[in-house]
Amino acid sequence: MEDVTDTVFRQIIAKCGKPDVFFTEFTNVEGMCSRGKDKVGKRLIFTTSERPIVAQLWGIDPEKFEQTAKKVLDMGFDGIDINMGCPEKSVVKKGSCAALINNQPLAKEIIAAVKAGAPGLPISIKTRIGVKEIQTEKWAKFLLEQNLDVLTVHGRTAEEMSDCPVHWEEIEKVVKIKQDMKVKTLIIANGDVKSRKEAEEKCQQYGLDGVMIGRGIFENLWVFNKKTDQTQIPYQEKLKLLREHITLFDKTWGKTKNFSIMKKFYKIYLSGVPNVKDVRVEIMKLKTAKETLKFLESLGA
C-alpha cells in the first residue's frame, strides 16, 4: 500500500468508516536512522482521528529497529508492526521483509530489538506463508514462540505475489497451531477480502481474530462502515469527497510530494459518474490540485 495509506487517506477513511485499527505505510528503519530521517519520517505522521494506529516498520538491522522503535514509542503510536511479508523483489533481495521467512535467527533478533526499544507497546508481525514454497507450519510455529501480540498472515508465498487464489487452508493451519501451542497471540488474515461481510464470514469460518483489508479499499471507501452501503451513495457525494481528499493532500504535502500520487485514487471516486471514461481521460491529464479542483467543480462537485 505504498503511497496509499498516508495520513491524508487515513483521515478520509476515518470519515467514511474507521477500521478497528489503522496501519501506516511501511517505513524503513535504516532510513529513520539516517540523514534523510525527516523525509522518511513523514510516513509516520498521524492525527488523533486515525487512532488506534500502528507504525509499520521494515529493514534488516536490529540496532536500527531498536532505535526506531524508541522513536515510535515517543511519537505516541498504539503499536508496532514488523513487516516480514512484503514480496517486492528489491526489498527481498536485501534480505528484509519476506526474505526473513528464511532467516529465523535475524527475525528473532529484530523482534527482540523492537521489544527492547518499545517496552510495553503491542508488537505484531505481518508475513506470508513462505518465500518460494509453502512453509506455514515451520514459520508460524517459530513466530508464535516469540510472544507476539498479533500475527497477520497473508495466505500466499512471496513468489506468488497476488497472482493466485489465497490459500485459506494454510491460514487455518496457523489458527490450529496457535490453539495447539496455547498462546494468546491474535491471528489476523489478509488476502483479497473486499467487504466487511466477507471479513466477518472468514473470521467465523476459520476461527480468526480479525481480517486485514488492504487493496479492497480501492473498490469501496466505506468497506469498514457497518451501516453505509456505498452503492447507495450518489456520485456527487463521492466527487465532493474527492475534492476534500485533494484539498487535504495539497494542504498536508504541498510540493513535498508529487501530486500525481493522487491519480491512483481517482477510480475509487469516479464510479457512477456520467461519461466516466471521458472524465477519467480528462482528469488524468491534470497536473495540479488547483486545476483538478476546478475540473471537479465543473462536474458539479
CA dist 89 → 22, 30, 42, 236, 275 (Å): 25, 18, 24, 40, 39
Band (1; pLDDT cuts 50, 70, 90):
confident
Please tell me what DSSP assigns to residue 27.
Answer: E
Q: What is the pLDDT of residues 130-187, one digit of tens each?
A: 999 999 999 999 999 999 999 999 999 999 998 899 999 999 999 999 999 999 999 9
Strands 27-28 and 22-23: unpaired
Do 253 and 7 form a contact (C-beta atoms < 8 A)?
no
Band (227; pLDDT cuts 50, 70, 90):
confident
Query: Which domains does the chain possess?
Result: 20-212 (3.20.20.70), 231-298 (no CATH)
Share the mean pLDDT of the chain.
Answer: 95
Question: How many other β-carbons are positioned within 10 Å of the β-carbon of residue 240?
Answer: 15
Q: What is the pTM of this model?
A: 0.94
Task: Tell me how far apart the alpha carbons of residues 274 and 299 are, in angstroms, rounded to a whole number.
Answer: 9
Please tell me what DSSP assigns to residue 134.
Answer: B
Instruction: Enumerate the active-site residues.
Output: 86
Q: What pLDDT is recorded for position 252? A: 96
Task: Tell me how far apart the alpha carbons of residues 249 and 200 are, in angstroms, rounded to a whole number.
Answer: 32
For the cut 80, the answer to whether the pLDDT of residue 90 exceeds it is: yes
Match 528484509 to its residue by C-alpha cell.
96
> What amino acid is encoded at 12 in this protein?
I
Q: What pLDDT is recorded for position 238? A: 93
End-to-end C-alpha distance for the chain, whole angstroms: 27
Q: What pLDDT is recorded for position 78? A: 98
Do 123 and 115 form a contact (C-beta atoms < 8 A)?
yes
Strands 123-128 and 150-154: parallel
Task: Tell me how far apart the alpha carbons of residues 168 and 206 are, in angstroms, rounded to a whole number.
Answer: 8
For the cut 90, the answer to whether the pLDDT of residue 294 exceeds it is: yes
For the cut 70, the answer to whether the pLDDT of residue 301 exceeds it is: no
Task: Tell me how far apart the alpha carbons of residues 20 and 287 are, in angstroms, rounded to a whole number.
Answer: 35
Range list of H helices, the chain: 7-17, 29-32, 37-40, 62-75, 89-92, 104-117, 136-144, 168-181, 196-206, 235-253, 266-270, 276-285, 289-298
* Percentage of residues in the chain having pLDDT higher than 90: 89
Q: What pLDDT is recorded for position 42? A: 94
Average pLDDT rounded to a whole number, residues 69-93: 96
CA dist 271 → 17, 108, 120, 140 (Å): 19, 45, 44, 40
